Every structure is written in C-alpha cells, then in structure tokens.
Amino acid sequence: MAHTKFPVEVLTPEGEVFNEEVEMLSTHTALGSIGILANHEPVLALLEPTELRLYRSESEIVRFAQAEGYLQFTENRALVLVEEAIAPDQLDRATLETRLRDARSSLEQAQEGSERQARARRDIRRYEAFLAVGQ
C-alpha cells in the first residue's frame, strides 16, 4: 500500500542535497533508530552518523552516508541538517580509512576526560559508520 508522502529537505553546509516528497524517512537518533511517516508528531532530534534512507516508494530508496546532525519534523515537513551527506557510491574508502586511523591514533594520545578524547571518539564513530554504509 502506498503511504502518504511528505516533503523532506536535507541540508548540509555545502548546499542542499535532497528536496523531494517521500513516503518514509529512516535514520538514527541519539536514542535509537527512528522512522518518520507523514503526520508524525513534531520532533527535534540529534542524529548519529549512520545510513539515511529516504523512501520515494517501497522499492525506490535514496541512501546517504550521514554525519552527525539534527532532524526537525514540524507541520508535516522534515528538515535534516547534517554536516555531511554523501551518496554511497561517492564515498572514498581510502580517505575514510586514513581519517579513521588518524582519529584512532589521536584517541590513543589523548588524555583521559579531555576534549580531544571526546572528539576523537566522535570522529571514529563517524568514519566507522561511513565505512559501513559504503560496504
């Protein structure tokens, strides 16, 4: 059965990457995975790096590797703000692996409880998620 569609806008600092009507949006918030259908209640959520899925229909799915960001759903419109949203075939494994290695070595050098440690952990999560999407 076809679902009602609702508009979704995906914005990154480097520009808009998606602006269409979809049947469902699925991603991962700080509290767990979330699926949004039309007429969902208003929500403001923190997003974790993961695969963002936009269902144009049940069989046609647009996918992005999504970095940390925010999801806002109000008045039957979804706004996804993320630092990066990359189509899976645009992911550069070699670069991601280097960055992941850098982040891991930064984590090893970081002091317990420091800001550097927190940021290194966050980077590792992002690059691991991206690599998983690329597979």
Partner 1 sequence: MASQRDVKSKIGSVKNIQKITRAMEMVAAARLRRAEQRIAALRPYANAIRRMTRQAAQAAGGAESARVPLLAEHESESAVAVLLVTGDRGLAGAFNSQVIRAGVRMAGELGQEGLRSSWYATGRRGVSSLSFRGYELEGSYVGFSDRPSYADARTIADDLMTAYVDGRVDRVEMVYNAYISPLRQTVTHERLLPLTKATIVGEEPSDGEEVEEETRSHAAVEYEPDPEQILRRLLPDYVEISVYRALVESTAGFFGAQMTAMRSASDNAGEIITELTLQMNRARQAEITQEIMEVVAGAEGLR
Q: Which residues bind partner 1 (CB under 8 A)?
A: 11-16, 29-31, 34, 41-46, 68, 70, 72, 74-75, 79, 81, 83-84, 114-116, 119
Pick between residue 93 and residue 116 the one whose CB is nearest to partner 1: 116
CB of 16 to partner 1, least distance (A): 7
Q: Which is nearer to partner 1, 16 or 21 (CB)?
A: 16
The C-alpha atoms of residue 16 and residue 119 are separated, in whole angstroms, by 26
4 versus 114: smaller Cβ distance to partner 1: 114
Q: What is the DSSP letter of 21?
A: E
In the complex, minimum distance from the CB of residue 57 to partner 1, in angstroms, rounded to a whole number: 27
* C-alpha span between 23 and 120 (Å, rounded): 36
Indicate the residue among 7 and 60 with the shorter CB distance to partner 1: 7
DSSP letter for each residue of 27-90: EEETTEEEEEETTPPPEEEEE-SEEEEEESSSS-EEEEEE-SEEEEEETTEEEEEES-EE-GGG
Q: What is the closest distance, in whole angstroms, from the C-beta atom of residue 73 to partner 1 in the complex?
A: 9
